[in-house]
Amino acid sequence: MGFDATLADSSPQPVLPDTIFLTLPAHSALTPRQVCAALLRNKGIVDVKVSSDQRTVVVKFIPSITSGKHITQMVPGVDLNITVPEVTPGAWEDSSWSQGSSAVLRLKVDGMTCHSCTSTIEGKLGKLQGIQRIRVSLDNKEAVVVYQPSLITAEEIKQQIEGAGFTAAFKKQPRPLKLSGIDLERLRNAQPRSSEASQRENSSSKTAVFRVEGMHCSSCVLNIQSSISALPAVTSAVVSLENKSAAINYNPSLISTEQLRKAVENVSPETFRVSLLEEHENLTLVPTLVSPLKSVPASKEPIQPLTQVVVINIEGMTCSSCVQSIEGVLSQKAGVKSVHVSLLNGNGTIEYDPLQTTIAELIRELGFGATVMENCGEGDGILELVVRGMTCASCVHKIESTLMKTNGVLYCSVALATNKAHIKYDPEAIGPRDVIQVIKDLGFTTSLVKKDRSASHLDHKQEIRQWKRSFVVSLVFCIPVMGLMIYMMALHSSMVLEYQLMPGLSVMNFLSFLFCVPVQVFGGWHFYIQASRALRHNTANMDVLVVLATSIAFLYSTIILLVAMAERAKVNPVTFFDTPPMLFVFISLGRWLEHVAKGKTSEALARLISLQATEATIVTLGPDNVLLSEEQVDVDLVQRGDIVKVVPGGKFPVDGRVIEGHSMVDESLITGEAMPVTKKPGNTVIAGSINQNGTLLISATHVGADTTLSQIVKLVEEAQTSKAPIQQFADKLSGYFVPFIVAVSVVTLLAWIIIGFVDFEIVEKYFLGYNKSISAAEVIIRFAFQCSITVLCIACPCSLGLATPTAVMVGTGVGAQNGILIKGGEPLEMAHKVKVVVFDKTGTITHGTPEVMQVKFLVEGNLLPRHKMLAILGTAESSSEHPLGAAITKYCKKELNSETLGTCTDFQVVPGCGISCKVTNIELFIEIRSTDKVTCPLLSFTCAPVTSQKYSVLIGNREWMTRNGLQVRNEVDKAMMEHERRGRTAVLAAVDGVLCGLIAIADTVKPEAELAVHTLKSMGLEVVLMTGDNSKTARSIASQVGITKVFAEVLPSHKVAKVKQLQDEGKRVAMVGDGINDSPALAMANVGIAIGTGTDVAIEAADVVLIRDDLMDVVASIDLSRKTVKRIRINFVFALIYNLIGVPIAAGVFLPIGLVLQPWMGSAAMAASSVSVVLSSLLLKMYQKPSSEKLEFRARGQMRPKSPSEISVHVGIDESGPGSPKLSLMDRLITYSRASINSLLSDKRSVNSVVLGEPDKHSLLVGDFGEEDDTAL
């Protein structure tokens, strides 16, 4: 019959049990042994074990029989919470916690240097199928993985870790468990005990939802979850970084919401700010196995639906009222979490639940065009393919099943009807070309779905064509009407035009009606469609005002004409048929010019998008980098690790590292660097930059959406979509503007009707179209309608709505062109309010890498020539991982002009002291490059032939020399102390037991730092230096750059407290930093500014990102903010004054002084106002960054190093007030022992480095950097 049939296997079948970990309450009526016994009596329980600390129970169970949630309720009177235990060696007697479907694997991992390494391993393994939980310990060099052996093997896990660049080795092999049919039967027949008591206890629980401000990474989430979950009265805690919330399930009889709030705050008193949002009765959070890899739990809560973010291109928006309409309607729909609509970009970013609503359809119902531009995933690769050759559903199944078995493919969906495949994959495990090759191997042809990489949605071409067409149509029919009107005004009366074709219908009215009807139908079609849809959804926009004005004029004229014809009137009625054509002409012209100007505001972003390459040349290299083949592929198919060839004049398709070739590269459109940059092997290149002269081979490091250019484009788009606080006010005002203007128009109509009948002479005097043959009542009605329609025509919410976004768009675009990425309107607006600029030291004020400043020779040159000593020192430090050692090696190689030196053996490091080693094989190197004919052995007056001699080398501080029996002479000690006083690290070197050299090393100050600090001060800003280094180093740096206020020896948490202290004084603070330890302070500051060469965490936390490592861009970012906000204010003042003055004039308030407007004049003024606001914003495109040369010329003679007496140095967290966080025991020990640590100047690290273990933050004593003297002092 077509079904597969097989004989049942009578042998025992492997059963796949699952495992959970349960935390016992601190005060339980039952002992752990009694709890285990109670659990074992239940159906489906395989095994139960207790940890050595008697706090955690591991339970193996059959998922088909029972569940984790049910197990937590099996023991009456005892609260059992599912958790992820802290895994430590020896915590369990049996390392095989979970057997069968879940096993625990312990691996020793070498090569990890920082927490970024642990995150890399956890992130890589967490995306694999079959991985349940991962915990990587940097201290123990260990990875503990809970996985399902049926889906992934231990060897595959090991290979994945090694593929990430680490060395992995098994500690203990997991052992799978098999159960026979008899065991299964015994488990099924076990009688479960009642759990009613437990259910009664759980029924009294509550869930409190708190808002938590101050979280900046997943570490904060885990800290809160682990701390709060440990409380006895807390059942579970779910923390969301994205929502800034914490949902806590607790027992109200044991703890209050206020106590919970304080408990969350106490996790980090100076970082988290907690407030209660809501409280639910009898809402139990689903117990979850909390993963350390995510900021939110893996399971979905009922109150946290699965959402996705989509970017939609929206057509047809004309003013901020349209934006308010879309945002208002969508935000009220079920499943929509957030809505951000950009009028100028013509798109919207919406976060919503796709199971509850369809966003594009909702927008179309509002009367706007809507097409999905992109779905923002979570970082996984998404591939859209066209698959040819499929004939039936079997082909679909074949492709889907094969792809789902492929390592790295997360999801696959193939549609036979459309011949399209949607594939989600892990870019770290598989690439797009690999996926395509799998499909091709199945016998199908496939190609990539072409994406629109153009910036067509930014140039407003469609809107420009639409309004141009509307203007031309209206103009064609308006010209005859205007001609008739001018003819009548010139001759005052015309017997021909006044001739009646029939009683009540004159030639003038008949011709005006004929020309007015096409304008109403064709010229006003778009207005009527938009207005009807807006009114249908109870909203109003600019189109409603236009439709009201033209419709009232047309209908009034038509009705009064029909009445006159019906009454067979002898006097021709006065009509408004000339008003609609002229209104549509001026409004269409204004909209046309407005969209042309809007397109100019997006030029910066469009230029960035145009930089993206469409194709790439992939090459295959053989031995010795011999070119074997090359292939032209779509840029979306480039994978990490591919070798890409870039010819002269070509764009770099991806970010990469040069492996062969030399060239000059133009990066001006990305970094703002005007001069071409030299690229050679080892240098990095940026996607979108242009190769100028040499052919380069690069290894792709970042592809697709991960490239620098893609990230910049995304950042600029998000910035231009976000709204500044002043823009939010304008949009809210626009929402009430149209109803208000309609009300004013009605009041104007009624007021002039009353005034006219009370005192007709006023109307008679100022009504230009007054004709004595017309009755007074008709004149009054006509004049009242004229003023009312003019009010509708002149009022303009567009100028209010465009005042801010146009300036923000141009400002952020100009910033991006100059290498300054501003994340939205809020930081752009806030930056001009900054009063204090706080600088981090290492990597911000300084380069962050040590350099050799001076070398002093302590022996005669004939005993140890200079080049020979440098060769020995460079070889000795080549095996050192310390930054000081790397600086010495780099200096020696540079001075000797060589990349290879001698051989180093027996290398030993003594932390805090120095190194010792043996150096050989330098004679051949010296013989090849030396110009001397005679080579003398070290410390020997007798010349000998060149042989491979071994030298004993010691490099370190005073204590290290003393330990090895070497005496440091007084003059040498004084020289060291002088270097130390100037903020340098002094290192001694000894060869073969003789003290031979003194090396001074420093982290140099950036050359532009002093000018940047001086310029900021001249702008009226207070400049502060904040660092974790000691006060001597901090004072030295501050003296060089001209900073007078310094906070030294400050921990990362204290940086946050110090920023908070400055804010409490009423100051707006900008924090400039680059490291991980700066990210909390960057997030706390009013404006966080990150150096682009810094860490990803710092860049993520900052509000402004400087692409170039240039402190003058800090000055430029604040200056640009000031110029942009000034332009916004000019726009706003103009828009407000226009409406505040224009509406009263249109209403006839200034009639006594003879100021009267016709409706067409109002429409012309309205159109001019919108265009003028956009043109005003476009003036920002003329912005030029402050020139360093001009600033240096102005500051000539004013910049000088500060004396020690001018610098105020505050150590630690002093003067920070009572709310400052307390030092931990480790922090106090570090602070207390600073005096002794300072004596080890050669190997000293900052407090930040000690606490955080950051390899990129070294405490280096910094001093003057202008000396390159290597002679004796």
Q: pLDDT (tens digit, 9 = 90+) per residue, 690-699?
A: 898 888 999 9
- Please state, in angstroms and rounded to a whole number, the distance separating the CA atoms of residues 869 and 888: 12
Most confident of the ranges 481-490, 633-642, 1051-1060: 633-642
Alpha-carbon distance of 980 to 1263, in angstroms, equals 9
The mean pLDDT of the chain is 74
| Residue 471 clears pLDDT 60, i.e. is over it | yes
Rounded CA-CA distance 1040/1036 in Å is 6
Last residue of a domain, one of 950, 985, 1008: 950
Phi first, then psi, for residue 688 (nearest 5°) are 95, -20
Mean per-residue pLDDT for 462-478? 83
* Average pLDDT rounded to a whole number, residues 976-1002: 88
* pLDDT score of 315: 76
Answer whether residue 836 shows pLDDT above 90.
yes
Give the Cα separation of 1059 and 1073 in Å (integer): 13
The pLDDT tens digits for 722-762 are: 666 666 676 677 667 778 888 888 898 899 888 888 888 77
Q: What pLDDT does 1077 receive?
A: 66
DSSP state of 191: P
**Nearest by Cα to 732 from 1166, 318, 1170, 320:** 320
pLDDT band at 1259 (very low <50, low <70, confident <90, very high): very low
Q: Same domain, yes or no, for 51 and 186?
A: yes
Confidence of residue 452 (pLDDT cuts 50, 70, 90): low
**Per residue in 902-925, pLDDT tens?**
889 888 888 878 899 999 888 766
Q: How confident is the model at residue 1115 (pLDDT cuts 50, 70, 90)?
A: very high
Q: How confident is the model at residue 987 (pLDDT cuts 50, 70, 90)?
A: very high
Question: For the chain, what percent of residues have pLDDT higher than 70?
Answer: 74
Where in the sequence is the domain holding 897, given as residue range(s)?
A: 863-950
For residue 895, being part of any structural domain is answered with: yes
Average pLDDT for residues 1104-1112, to the nearest whole number?
85
Q: In this structure, are 602 and 520 located in the same domain? A: yes
Distance separating alpha carbons of residues 788 and 551, to the nearest angstrom: 13
Instruction: Report which of 605, 716, 616 is spatially closest to residue 669, judged by C-alpha positions.
Output: 605
Integer angstrom CA distances of residue 393 from 382, 390, 415: 23, 8, 9
196 — pLDDT class (breaks 50, 70, 90): very low
* More confident site: 1269 or 577: 577
Structural domain count, the chain: 6
Residues facing residue 424 across a β-bridge: 382, 411
Average pLDDT for residues 627-650, to the nearest whole number? 87
Quick check: is 1015 in a domain?
no
Which one, of 1220, 1260, 1228, 1256, lies nearest residue 1078 by Cα?
1256
- Looking at the fold, whether 655 and 607 belong to one and the same domain comes out as no
264 assigned to some structural domain: yes
Predicted pLDDT of residue 1271: 35
- Average pLDDT of the residues in 151-176: 71
Is residue 520 included in any domain, yes or no? yes
pLDDT at 697 (0 to 100): 92
Quick check: is 838 in a domain? no
Cα–Cα distance for residue pair 871/919, rounded to 1 Å: 10
Q: Active site residue: 543, 840, 1110, 1256, which one? A: 840
Bridge partners, 167 (sequence order): 110
501 and 582 in one domain? yes
The predicted structure's pLDDT at residue 202: 44
Query: Taking 60 as the threshold, does the pLDDT of residue 1060 lie above it?
Result: yes
Asked if residues 900 and 917 have their Cβ atoms less than 8 Å apart, the reply is no
CA distance 1095 to 842: 13
Select from 261, 281, 301 the last residue of a domain: 281
Element (H, E) at 887: helix 883-896
Domain end call among 360, 376, 392: 376
Residues 367 and 503 in one domain: no
pLDDT at 354 over 80: no
Kindly state whether residues 891 and 915 are assigned to the same domain: yes
Q: Which pLDDT does position 536 carry in this prediction? A: 74
333 and 246, same structural domain?
no
Q: Is the pLDDT of residue 1244 over 50?
A: no
Q: Which two tokens stand for residue 225?
A: 């979850």
Q: Quick check: 284 pLDDT over 60?
A: no
Higher pLDDT, 1130 or 207: 1130
Would you say 605 and 813 are in contact if contact means Cβ atoms under 8 Å apart?
A: yes
User: Minimal CA–CA distance to 223: which of 241, 211, 242, 210?
Assistant: 241
Looking at per-residue pLDDT, the higher value among 468 and 571 belongs to 468
Domain contains 451: no
Whether 355 and 468 share a structural domain: no
Q: Is 824 left (phi over 0), alpha (psi -120 to 50) or beta?
A: left
The reply to whether 840 belongs to the active site is: yes
- pLDDT tens figures, 865-894: 888 889 999 999 988 888 888 899 999 988
Cα–Cα distance for residue pair 1127/1133, rounded to 1 Å? 10
934 burial via Cβ count (<10 Å: 0-12, 13-18, 19+): exposed
Structure confidence at residue 915 (pLDDT):
92
| Nearest C-alpha neighbor of 421 from the set 30, 1120, 440 | 440
Tell me which of 609 and 472 has the higher pLDDT: 472
Instruction: Identify the residue whose tokens are 């660092």.
Output: 1027
pLDDT (0 to 100) of residue 809:
81
Same domain, 488 and 609: yes
Report the alpha-carbon distance of residue 174 to residue 816 in Å, rounded. 53
Backbone conformation region of residue 77, classed left if phi is above 0, alpha if psi is from -120 to 50, else beta: left
Structure confidence at residue 95 (pLDDT): 36
Indicate whether 250 belongs to any domain.
yes
Q: Find which of 108-112, 173-177, 984-988 is predicted with most confidence, using mean pLDDT.
A: 984-988
What CA–CA distance (Å, rounded) separates 53 from 58? 13
pLDDT for the residue numbered 1094: 55
In the sheet with 684-685, reading across from the earlier edge strand, the strands are 627-634, 615-621, 643-646, 696-702, 655-660, 684-685
* Contact (Cβ atoms closer than 8 angstroms) between residue 547 and residue 531: yes
Higher local confidence (pLDDT), 547 or 1000: 1000
**Consecutive H or E run containing 82:** strand 81-82
**Arithmetic mean of pLDDT, 857-861:** 81
* CATH number of the domain within which 927 lies: 3.40.1110.10
Q: What angle, rounded to 10 degrees, do the helices at 725-758 and 776-794 form?
A: 170
Three-class HEC string of 300-336:
CCCCCCCCEEEEEEEECCCCHHHHHHHHHHHHCCCCE
**What percent of the chain clears pLDDT 90, i.e. is strictly above it?**
5
| pLDDT tier for residue 258 given thresholds of 50, 70 and 90 | confident
One domain, residues 469 and 596: yes
What does the CA dihedral 1214, 1216, 1220, 1224 come to, rounded to 10 degrees?
-20
Report whether 306 contacts 352 (CB < 8 A).
no
Burial class of residue 708 (count of CB atoms within 10 Å of its CB; 0-12, 13-18, 19+): buried
pLDDT of residue 420: 83
User: Which pLDDT value is given to residue 773?
Assistant: 60
- Cβ-based neighbours of 828, under 8 Å, separated by 6 or more: 719, 724, 808, 811, 812, 822, 1120, 1121, 1124, 1125
Residue 590 has pLDDT above 60, yes or no: yes
Report how far residue 921's alpha carbon sits from residue 905's, in angstroms, rounded to the nearest whole number: 11
Q: Is the pLDDT of residue 1246 over 60?
A: no
For residue 224, the domain's CATH number is: 3.30.70.100
Do residues 492 and 606 both lie within one domain? yes
419 and 389 Cβ atoms separated by less than 8 Å:
no
1048 phi/psi in degrees, rounded to 5: -110, 160
> Is the per-residue pLDDT at 847 higher than 80?
yes
Structural domain includes residue 562: yes
Q: Which residue has the tokens 């048929």?
A: 577
**Using 50, 70 and 90 to split pLDDT, how confident is the model at 410?**
confident
Reply yes or no on whether the pLDDT at 92 is more than 50.
no
Sorting pLDDT into bands at 50, 70 and 90, what band is 494?
low
Domain check: are 320 and 354 in the same one?
yes
